Structure 1
């Protein structure tokens, strides 16, 4: 149903010749990401909405340099009838004042100014000290909050304003598509697994090092491999080719594109990062689902990152800046229509307290606040987590920052002693952290006890796939990918034991990718036999095509992970976007790689990064493909896979935009009817 609706509505919109789409502007810099003209409406042109979902609208009218913007602008809207679209005319329904149509009064008008760079030349001039390189923009703005369009269809939105520089009347015309969702649930529960930064090539590499093969044939497959439905997801953001985790995860939770760094909002140009136009979140919709359609559902958030980090925060937060960790903690329980998830498990303890480097909002003890105001039981290590048998909401914080990665938690355990990482702010390390499967299974137990009848939604993230790909620590990234896969297998077993498998849709995808691939194998013994000056000989240890023999990894105990990580024959692997660094194709047993370090400043006054001499000291040199100001690798454009199993899984086959995932989950959970 969702696919058909999306296709029909987009086709109707395309047929309206009176409102032609304005193509995205080329270039690396913009005045405001979703704002191609001096007159801006957020949400922008061609946005798709879920009928009945709440959203904010922001109008901005701009004047550059000394030009003041028009403050007498007007906003109109009309619903286009099928006759209008069929006849390619727009006569049946007249444009109506936006306030009158929506019955929502705008906030008081606002004015402010901001600055931007028109192109790369202007930006780099500013980095060299030119204070006149930026362009000032003066803004007049209004915002309408909690708008709802309940009737599916195609809407035209029109902003009329004066270009004060030329004196000409201007208009900005938009099309909004409002999609219906089913009022009947296909699944009672949905689990959305996110392998942050995970790509098909990484899954292939993880399979290669963990699964037995005979005569080139795998004797076992990964749990992801066994999902019946496979699709691909396009990940770009509203104004950039390369997304970050915030706005890509936000697309999954709202059905709207956004800009890098943003969570649940369209970034505007206002001074505050918290007043940008919001979109209602999937979890919020589930919380107010009507009783006749199943009632309020449960929400669980599990991550190996900080619980305030981009992907988990996308489930409950609204802000233009993902780095506002202290306020994001507060938003969970005090925000506008707060989600107040039933299960919150991960890291990020430093934002809950003010002890020993704590960064909580206003020095508040949020462990106490969560407990007293919302009834959370708080646990701080693996033993406490597994021992919890209650039905109340559960908050588990196991590290001051991100949890340590699987390879250090389970193999190179001495690395856990390197920092004071206790989530309560002591000087002690967090030595007893849970694994991802511990958190997911305990979270499911709590959700099932609290919402067996109504159903629930869980987002579970293997965050450090991405976290380790940035410093080019491929072994640690692949180990966390294998942890995700093993967790999926254990989750499927748990669902079956509890008779929930036929009622639960499981999705596994990524928020974005890295440009990782494997191009051969490496004989590290031969590699290490040569001196640092013999780089050509070292490179000859890389076998390609017929010489790319099998690596040495073996999983004899069948736990889903290689028994030994420091092996002779490894993978020749890499990415496209990386800083200058050294490479030896071998696991770093002493902790996460630091591929590049600052070696001084450029004439632009930023730090310049060169290869870290302590990382792979006997490796080969690899000249960076990124600017000298980049210390780690970066995300890539490629589509990411999505695996689906359970009721409604057929909706996720084929190629789809990341915003469509939201609409399809809403369809499966029956979110077409809210109170």
Structure 2
């Protein structure tokens, strides 16, 4: 039986330790995972891989006119049956600096503000400078800590004359390597309901039975992943992707760190990333391996950046480009493919860090071959590291690249900053296959890890553009099928674990079908009649989509019978259940006049002109739909695939991948 620590084993191991308080209820917090005035990061119940590097920070807070007591201490002890003889504490609490043999950073102090509740938050948003609460902080940090001996540890912060904050940490053992390669496909925002809908519009069915299924439907193992973040029930892409890459939960917007309250977004306590561990894997377990990153978003966007970046703020995209090759322990991936060209240069609206030409820097300093369109990508046959950037921002979606191509003719989308349009972008499958070719050439012996993201599933579900979102789900599924074929041809299929999952979900679902011909026969004022075009239960007949050419996509997207689909969390908008031929939807726009200091959004009068009005379910300052609570599916095939069955926390995905790749180090 595979011996991997789980959340259940953590609970058992610490049963003799007094549990810290449960996560407190409420919407607004002084600092995530810090319910008291004494903060320890990593917080209580954190789980580590033996030998992985991580930073530690403590903060002592005082509110309003009070000042923090700077007389505080941090101790650590190993608990349970075994003793930590290496560090000499023999089960006793020991000063953390002495135990870790790391000199802490100089003590720091700063101030910040927060809102205690919704009333304070909205008053602050409306310009009330007295509604927020001021916090004064005293802090100390230890950098690049390691725990090489598996087990359970108790860390105690003593502060304010006898008050304590305790954190129980569990360190998982290093396992013998079982997989040579791992591919992690992420459909950003992809839910089970989206896969169900994508199957419905693309696969033939007779008497209600599918005659073919999605490629992921044929995977032998299926599990579910819980996506909650460190301090909220609804996650964003940054910290959910970070959980996959670190084994630690984080807060919204954070990449590879536990967010602290310091002014800098780059000094928060870091966690060693899976790719960083891959780069320093022990010789015993095969030596340093390859790393690949593919996305249809900007390569600096949350999910791809989670593979190589450390920052509290995912929007620091210019610095994130620099971190890939100049970070504290830079990943320097073998292949990086996607969008985001404007952060590589300073021409015509470019936003690169300090105006630097990073295309040139990547090429000269790290030997990257740089390509900027589909033809150059497919032509490349070398073994140098490859940087392919194909759009100034996020790449255009499948539906526009293949069906509504006129939407590609936008000035300023060319990735080089020449002011033109990005008319020759590769598909996701073309980028993934090229990444596999590069990784195979550079690391056939050592093995590799590849993260490939279908980013615009999420980016289209936000503006309620369901057709474009489902098309990108199908592109991901077709890419999975072509990847399996490529691995088999190159005799790598038995050595490669393939995972297909999402970082979070949207509340999208299908509740019937729509006769758009009947819908369109009424004016926009005849909403009741329009609603009668929606068929439910026995009247929810099959949609009109057909894939006659067998390419995995509907041949026609402007059909009579479409899906009655929607989301639970949406802004006020109009809905006509039909594809938007002129580009991505903009469901809501800023109200022209408002007494508030923040923006209020109303239905876009130019969107779904003949649609029905839907009053929003979100705060009035939200312009698009939001993520949801749903667990997301994870499909697995290859060595170790059975580990991903059942319900699991998102942090467990990291530990299972790390186990199968033989990452970490012990005494």
2:220 paired residue number: 228
The equivalent of 1:528 in structure 2 is 520
State the secondary structure of the residue aligned to 1:418: coil
SS at match of 2:487: helix
In structure 2, C-alpha distance between the alignment counterparts of 1:462 and 1:7, rounded to whole Å: 29
Matched, 1:107 2:90: no
Q: Say if 2:30 is the partner of 1:37.
A: no
Mapping of residues 181-330 of structure 1, within 5 Å: 181-182=174-175, 184-330=176-322
| Aligned counterparts of 2:559 and 2:538: Cα–Cα separation in 1 | 21
Please show how residues 307-386 of structure 1 align to structure 2 within 5 Å.
Answer: 307-386=299-378
Shift of 1:672: 3.5
Q: Aligned equivalents of 2:593 and 2:221: distance in 1?
A: 50
Match of 2:92 in 1: 94
Q: Contact 1:2–1:663 at 8 Å: present in 2 too?
A: no
Q: Distance in 1 between matches of 2:593 and 2:567?
A: 26
Equivalence for 1:116: 114
Alpha-carbon distance between aligned partners in 1 of 2:647 and 2:3, rounded to the nearest angstrom: 11
Match of 2:501 among 491, 495, 509: 509
Match of 1:12 in 2: 12
Q: Which residue of 2 aligns with 1:64?
A: 63
Q: C-alpha offsets along residues 237-256 of structure 1, whole Å, 9 cap, x if unaligned?
A: 00011100000000000000
Q: Deviations over 1:571-629 (max 9, x none)?
A: 00000000000000000000000000111354331111111111110011111101111
How far off is 1:72 after superposition?
A: 1.4
Secondary structure at 1:44's aligned position in 2?
Answer: coil
- Are 1:3 and 1:651, in contact at CA under 8 Å, matched by a contact in 2? no
Residues in 1 aligned to 2:104 and 2:207: alpha-carbon distance in whole angstroms: 68
**Aligned mates of 1:467, 1:501 — CA distance in 2:** 31
Q: CA deviation at 1:390?
A: 0.1
By how many angstroms is 1:527 displaced?
0.5
Contact 1:293 1:673 in 2 (8 A): no
Shift of 1:418: 2.8
Inter-partner Cα distance in structure 2 for 1:32 and 1:58? 13
**What SS does the corresponding residue of 2:60 show, helix, strand or coil?**
strand
Structure 2 match to 1:161: 159
Distance 1:466 1:128 in 2: 30
Q: Give the match's secondary structure for 1:600.
A: coil
Aligned to 1:54: 53
What residue number does 1:644 align with?
636
Q: Deviations over 1:414-455 (max 9, x none)?
A: 000033200000111000000000000000000000000000
1:617 aligned residue: 609
Q: How many residues align?
A: 662
For residues 70-105 of structure 1, the C-alpha deviation after alignment (integer angstroms, 9 at most, x for no partner) is: 111000000013279xxxxxx961100000111111
Please show how residues 570-585 of structure 1 align to structure 2 within 5 Å: 570-585=562-577
State the 1:6 CA deviation: 2.1
* Conserved? CA contact 1:516–1:573, under 8 Å: yes
Q: Distance in 2 between matches of 1:518 and 1:9?
A: 39
* SS at 1:641 equivalent: strand
Distance in structure 1 (CA, Å) of the matches to 2:326 and 2:82 = 46
Q: Partners in 2 of 1:506 and 1:630 — Cα distance?
A: 36
In the TM superposition, what is the alpha-carbon distance from 1:127 to its structure 2 partner? Answer: 2.2
Q: 2:388 corresponds to which residue?
A: 396
Per the alignment, residue 411 of structure 2 pairs with 419
Deviations 1:205-254 (A, max 9, x none): 00000000011110001001000000000001000111000000000000
Question: Residues 541 and 123 of structure 1: is their aligned pair in 2 closer, same or farther, counting only changes over 3 Å?
Answer: same
Partner of 1:143: 141
Distance 1:203 1:586 in 2: 19
Segments of 5+ residues of structure 1 without an aligned counterpart are 85-90, 163-167
Q: Give me the TM-score of the superposition, normalised by structure 2.
A: 0.98
| Alignment check: 8 A CA contact 1:301 1:343 kept | yes
- Cα pair 1:288 1:674 within 8 Å, conserved: no
Contact 2:148 2:666 in 1 (8 A): no
Which residue pairs with 1:605 in the alignment?
597
Q: State the alpha-carbon separation in 2 of the partners of residues 146 and 368 from structure 1.
A: 31
Aligned partner of 1:635 in structure 2 is 627
Instruction: Give the equivalent residue in structure 1 for 2:173.
Output: 180
Displacement after TM superposition at 1:326 (Å): 0.2
Instruction: Say if 1:510 and 1:641, in contact at 8 Å, map to a contact too.
Output: yes
Kindly indicate whether the alpha-carbon contact (under 8 Å) linking 1:2 and 1:664 is maintained by their aligned counterparts in 2: no
Q: Distance in 1 between matches of 2:537 and 2:495?
A: 46
1:467 maps to which residue? 459
SS for the counterpart of 2:153 is strand
Using the size of structure 1 for normalisation, the TM-score is 0.97
Distance in 2 (CA, whole Å) between partners of 1:127 and 1:278 is 31
8 A contact 2:280–2:288 mirrored in 1: yes
Partner of 1:165: none
RMSD: 1.3
Q: Is the 8 A contact 2:309 2:320 kept in 1?
A: yes
Q: Which residue number in structure 1 is paired with residue 656 of structure 2?
A: 664
Cα pair 1:12 1:154 within 8 Å, conserved: no
CA distance in 1 between counterparts of 2:478 and 2:619 reads 37
Is the 2:188–2:453 contact (alpha carbons within 8 Å) kept by the matching residues of 1?
yes
Which residue is equivalent to 1:88?
none
Q: Contact 1:421–1:430 at 8 Å: present in 2 too?
A: yes
Structure 2: runs of 5+ lacking an equivalent: 84-88
